[in-house]
């Protein structure tokens, strides 16, 4: 009898401890749990390389070799700093910063921009988009934000997070599309 009581007491303590240690927080109705934004990209002050390529950027002078591309780049991104250029096949890749945000853009040799991707701070998202996301995904916080520019269209890829999962969404002017959910382990 004493063995059974002792076993039951141990199981109750074990259960109570495991509930405390493995409890998951959920959002209360009407409350928004926004997490601190995670650092995305590299800031210019870090002295880390802006690009992730083994190519040597020293041989490319876009103003002299590709003046059409350099002119188009200057019009599209007048606030760009620390631009680093690479040529790969028939495309020019440029890595640079705008307002502390890392941007990658790809141009054809004739000056057409294929696309540009910017790692944004959450505060750089338009307020209307933040409100849409918060109302649709209550209980999630912002984890990462990317802005994608293709042929004049601006879309956003946003990664949201809560205690159980990450949600990757795609936002255009018209709609929010959920791309995938990734369970936390």
Bridge partners, 183 (sequence order): 165
Q: For residue 32, tell me if it sits in a domain.
A: no
Contacts of residue 84, defined as CB under 8 A and 6 or more positions apart, other chains included, come to 50, 51, 57, 94, 95, 96
Domain count for the chain: 1
Return the number of other C-beta atoms located less than 10 Å from residue 156's C-beta.
20
Q: For residue 105, tell me if it sits in a domain.
A: yes
Angle at 143 between CA 45 and CA 159, to 5 degrees: 120
Exposed, middle or buried by CB within 10 Å (0-12, 13-18, 19+), for 125?
Answer: middle
Paired tokens of 160:
């949201």
Contact 118, 156 (CB under 8 A): no
Q: How far is the C-alpha of 100 from the C-alpha of 175, rounded, in Å?
A: 28
Question: What is the pLDDT at residue 156?
Answer: 94
Question: What is the pLDDT at residue 41?
Answer: 36
Q: What is the pLDDT tens value at each position of the chain, 185 positions in all?
A: 777 766 666 766 666 555 555 554 444 444 444 444 433 333 344 444 455 555 555 568 888 899 999 999 999 999 999 999 998 888 999 999 998 899 999 999 999 999 999 999 888 888 888 888 999 999 999 999 999 999 888 999 999 999 999 999 999 878 899 999 999 88
Q: For residue 95, tell me if it sits in a domain.
A: yes
Say which CATH number the domain at 56 has: 3.10.450.360
Q: How far is the C-alpha of 143 from the C-alpha of 37, rounded, in Å?
A: 6
Q: For residue 143, tell me if it sits in a domain.
A: no
Question: What is the pLDDT at residue 34?
Answer: 44
Contact 157, 148 (CB under 8 A): yes
Paired tokens of 43:
């800031």
> Could you tell me the pTM of the whole model?
0.65
State the residue range of the domain holding 75.
Answer: 44-112
């Amino acid at each position: 009898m004493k063995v059974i009581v002792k076993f039951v007491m141990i199981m109750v303590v074990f259960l109570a401890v495991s509930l405390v240690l493995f409890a998951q927080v959920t959002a209360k109705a009407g409350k928004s749990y926004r997490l601190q934004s995670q650092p995305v990209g590299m800031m210019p002050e870090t002295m880390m390389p802006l690009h992730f390529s083994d190519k040597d950027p020293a041989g490319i002078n876009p103003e002299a070799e590709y003046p059409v591309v350099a002119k188009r780049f200057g019009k599209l991104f007048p606030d760009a700093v620390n631009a680093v250029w690479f040529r790969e096949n028939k495309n020019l890749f440029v890595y640079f910063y705008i307002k502390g945000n890392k941007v990658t853009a790809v141009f054809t040799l004739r000056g057409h921009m294929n696309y540009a991707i910017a790692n944004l701070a959450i505060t750089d998202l338009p307020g209307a988009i933040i409100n849409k996301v918060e109302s649709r995904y209550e209980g999630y916080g912002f984890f990462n934000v990317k802005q994608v520019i293709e042929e004049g269209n601006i879309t956003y890829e946003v990664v949201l997070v809560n205690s159980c999962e990450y949600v990757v969404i795609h936002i255009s002017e018209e709609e929010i599309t959920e791309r995938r959910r990734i369970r936390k382990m």
